[in-house]
Amino acid sequence: MRTAQVWHENWINKDNFSRALPPATNFPARLSRGSRRKTPDGRSPGSTNQPGHLMARASAYKGDLVNHATSVPTSARILGIGGALPERIVDNHYFEKIVDTSDEWIRERSGIIERRFAAEGQLNSDLSADAGRKALADAGLQPEDIDLIILATCTPDRPIPSCAVVVQDKLGAKNAAAFDLNAACSGFIYGMITATAMIRSMQAKYILLIGTELLTRVTDMTDRATCVLFGDGSGAVVLGPSYDSRGILGHYMGADGSLRDLITIPCGGTELPPTPERLAEHLHYVHMRGNETYKHAVTRLADSCVRALAAANLHSDDIDLVIPHQANTRILQSVAKRLGISYDEKFFINLPHIGNTSAASIPIAINEARETKRLLPGMTMLLVAFGGGLTFGGAVVRY
């Protein structure tokens, strides 16, 4: 921190900047792939065991700022989009064989027709890396260009280390810091807001934000109330600095920990470490109080939309496309009614063939909306989510 602070002060003084900018020491300059691998003294800028590497990386970025007229980003914008879904498709009739349910009951209660199940041996990090590669290719960037990987998930490969560092390795994003973010179904919104703050404060230039879940690995297949809801998948976006009207225009996020037991996995942490008895009680699976969750979901989703729109100084009429967390069609229809936004015309819904994929649902939907031409350049999206915690949030994004 002292090194970064000294560099920052010297930079401001030498270049006579009138406003103080935060130090940008997390990434090297955007040089060619060949030239950026070494600093002027021959050292590797990404190696933390070499003296002076922070100064070298900071100096390099200073030059990059000068090349961009020393502009401070107004926001972060989406540069690339990608998605990855498991091959196995599981329809509602599968559950008729294992629990007391029916295709008609599932469709009526949730709106879900089918969902994806990850293959045996397929990991969260595998899907994340796949979606990440596609987003990078769409953005025209290399893995080495990424400064930070944020993986929104509540179903990582392991408790330790973070799944994000495994993704970093699988992608070869050797210059990137990496961490997991667990806000359940709101994770992608939380991650987007976090990434925007990092980019606006110039702590990072290019961030790979991924939402991935393997919920079927933590679902009790004997509980008909939950086993029919969840699916697996991954979506990703590359975020970078915006200097125009594109990007994240406004956002809101919140939480209410007093309702933490509405959606939870009771066992597996330090509160209830796994024991044979707890595993026999299926406490290591998702438990959800459906009726109570429904009531809070409608209220919190609608409120998050209103707050995000207010932060962007926009009205619901200004929104071209609403991409919500794909939880339940009845919930989403109620939200649309409260907002006065046409559900059929402006809500993008892929829940029937994807299911509830928690933190992955919004980025998967963004990817599908772009592929199906529902999302076009210049359109303004309203993203909104609600999940375990409780957590909730929204973001207005101009693509």
Helix 2-15 and helix 53-67, axial crossing angle in degrees, nearest 10: 30
Distance (Å, whole) CA 237 – CA 369: 13
Please report, in angstroms and rounded to a whole number, the separation of the first and last CA atoms in the chain: 35
What's the burial of 344, exposed, middle or buried (CB within 10 Å: 0-12/13-18/19+)?
exposed
Place of tokens 């229809």: 333
Q: Across the chain, how many H-helices and E-strands are there?
A: 14, 13
Instruction: Catalytic residue, from 92, 182, 356, 367: name it.
Output: 356
Instruction: Catalytic residue, from 8, 53, 251, 325: name it.
Output: 325
Q: Give the Cβ contact number of residue 323 at 10 Å.
A: 27
Whether residue 356 lies in the annotated active site: yes
Whether residue 353 lies in the annotated active site: no
Place of tokens 């470490």: 273
Tokens at 170, concatenated: 């699988």
Answer positive or negative: Cα dihedral of 381, 382, 388, 391: positive
Alpha-helical regions (H) of the chain: 2-15, 53-67, 93-96, 103-110, 124-139, 163-171, 187-200, 224-227, 276-280, 290-311, 329-339, 343-346, 351-354, 361-371
Instruction: Catalytic residue, from 154, 163, 185, 267: name it.
Output: 185
Which amino acid is residue 91, in one-letter code? D
Whether residue 325 lies in the annotated active site: yes
The bridge status of strand 177-181 relative to strand 148-152 is parallel
The neighbouring-strand residues paired with 317 are: none
Catalytic site positions: 185, 325, 356
